Amino acid sequence: MVKLDETLTMLKELTDAKGIPGNEREVREVMRKYIEPFADEITNDGLGSLIAKKVGKEGGPKIMVAGHLDEVGFMITQIDDKGFLRFQPVGGWWGQVMLAQRVTIVTRKGDVTGIIGSKPPHILSAEARKKPVEIKDMFIDIGASSREEATEWGIRPGDMVVPYFEFTVMNNEKMLLAKAWDNRIGCAIAIDVLRQLKGVDHPNVVYGVGNVQEEVGLRGAKTATYKIQPDIGFAVDVGIAGDTPGISEREAMSKMGKGPQVVVYDASLVAHKGLRDLVTDTADELNIPYQFESIPGGGTDAGSIHLTHNGVPAMAITIATRYIHSHAAMLHRDDYENAVKLIVEVIKRLDRETVDKITFE
């Protein structure tokens, strides 16, 4: 078993924390614990996004580096008379990764273990067995015998359900497996950016942010950005890793371990050209590896950041990750560390003259 260093301990605590959209308190407390030593001030917006402020130069440009606190999960909607739970996905799920997976229901009385079930294939027709089970036909089994027993254990409609998975360092110790990399890795990047700026001269005011409710429409990014009113915005998130069997480079080019992804286009944002050029020029100058990525579907918090207030030059820097929106995802530690290094070096260059030039480019 690998001994966890300080960084791995932080990543474990962030990914182990439970927090679907609208239920991010536990994650926010972990992020606050780790970012507070490097911040001058911690505030929240009205929805619960965490905003950590680090002043380099008072009155300098405001730079927002935002991950999102929430993970995809489920919400209990009904308890049937036999004690089985019906649920609603919160965030995007592919039904084929859900069946027979262990989950944790978070109740007022404590956590309850369950498993996602469906009608067994042995009693289905040959034709029905060929079709994926639809999410609406699944249920959660907690071993209760009745609605009354489930209720007695604390289960109520509206309770949060999260995947159960243990943070794991793989045999290749650069490969890290965990639930909720989407997007606890973005929260970790925001923490480490402020950590690396501690005691460093920089010409601006940096905000490390943990937004809420990204998975249901980039919601917390709108309110946090409105409160901060930044001059420049970075969303840090996961991206698609194109290095598993069956994926062509045309579908997804990025490889794990080859550097953070500079997202030039997604369904929520066309990356700001001036900001993108500064990022890639900085990486080229310092020999920091990076990869270009475009994602025709989906988006990041940069999609909300750039449309807030008067408009904000913004882009997404992401980490190539396998198996996102499932119980366990995998990423490469080097990509995480290079993302932090790149963003820190870009921030050092974002003085007022450079920001004004970017804004009007």
Which is catalytic among the residues 214, 249, 285, 353? 214
DSSP assignment, residue 83? S
Distance CA 314, CA 302 (A): 6
Per-residue CA distances from 215 to 71, 73, 91, 97 (Å): 7, 10, 5, 18
Which of 204, 236, 190 minimizes the C-alpha distance to 354? 204
How would you label 295-315 residue by residue, b for 16+ Cβ within 10 Å and e otherwise? Answer: beeebbbbbbbbbbeeebbbb
CB 321 within 8 A of CB 181: yes
- Could you tell me the sign of the dihedral formed by the alpha carbons of 292, 297, 301, 303, in that order? positive
Which of 78, 216, 72 minimizes the C-alpha distance to 140? 78
Please say if 214 is a catalytic residue: yes
Our measurement of the distance from residue 186's CA atom to the centroid of its chain's CA atoms, rounded to an integer in Å, reads 6
Q: Which amino acid is at 73?
A: G
Our measurement of the distance from residue 294's CA atom to the centroid of its chain's CA atoms, rounded to an integer in Å, reads 18
CB 213 within 8 A of CB 44: no
Active centre residues (catalytic): 214
